[in-house]
Structure 1
Amino acid sequence: MKSDVTLSNKKIELIQWLSTIEDVSILNKIMELRKKESKDWWNSISENEKKSIEAGLNDAENGKLNDHSQARKLYEKWL
């Protein structure tokens, strides 16, 4: 719990600091850092996961979908 509080405090401190910055070059550097740190989850999943997602998207595009009630019947033991 303490680390959550510490993390929250750090975020608040950064937000407060950011709100006072007037130097555009510093803001641009922070924006560049943000872009570099943003990770696309697609690049972090396995090839099998990618294939599974692509197959699901393909099924959806081709109308191969089950309605909600049918899905609940199939997966009710996990719900």
Structure 2
Amino acid sequence: MSGVLRSVITKTAPAVRSNITQKANVMSGPPKHQISITEKVGVGVLMCAVVVAPASWILMNIPNYKKRDD
């Protein structure tokens, strides 16, 4: 069974690979839409908060994690 499967895969793999066409869109020049400083700062603050919030929550609650309920 594995021999049959292997032969089918080896015969179909080149046909499948040849149909894949890579395409890249590289655009240079000025941006189409200007983004305001307020929006840039807001997104930056939000991303920093999303990264820092879980770590600070864990660090603030370490005493609760150390408690034993014996």
Fold match by TM threshold 0.5: no
- The TM-score, its normalising length taken from structure 1, stands at 0.28
As a proportion of its length, which structure holds more helix?
1
Which of structures 1 and 2 has the bigger CA Rg?
2
